[in-house]
Amino acid sequence: MGEFFLILLIASIIFISYALSITPPESIKYEVSSHGLEVADKIYHWRELKHFFITARTEREMLAVDTKERLPGRLFVVFNHTDKERLIEIFSQHLPHIKEEPMNVADKAMYSLMDKLNFEDR
């Protein structure tokens, strides 16, 4: 019986991850200033942010910024490809630029499982 609930939990996580990954992002206003990053009328001051990196989970690249607070934890900024170098230059003045996405054990397990199931090719 315990195995059934474990399988149900894993299937639920996979379904939610898949559903969220295929849903296009809503249109949100982003603004970068000397004070920090404003996302949907909420400002995150530079001192509240840890580091940033570029990620490509979907067909588009996104700028990901980790926050010091647990929530939201990570902010994703969708940008035009022509703005990539300028954004990296601006953010690098205030935050460390890391080359790879930091992953914990849960992230690694989720990506490994998603790669094995690979919904995209079916």
pLDDT tens, residue by residue, 58-85:
678 999 999 999 899 899 898 999 999 9
pTM of the model: 0.68
* Mean pLDDT, rounded, for 16-31: 83
Separation of alpha carbons 94 and 57, rounded Å: 25
| Position 119 pLDDT exceeds 70 | no
Domains of the chain: 27-121 (2.30.29.30)
Separation of alpha carbons 75 and 7, rounded Å: 30
Query: At a CB cut-off of 8 Å and minimum separation 6, what does 91 contact?
Result: 32, 52, 63, 65, 97
User: Please, is 7 exposed, middle or buried when counting C-beta atoms within 10 Å of its C-beta (0-12, 13-18, 19+)?
Assistant: exposed
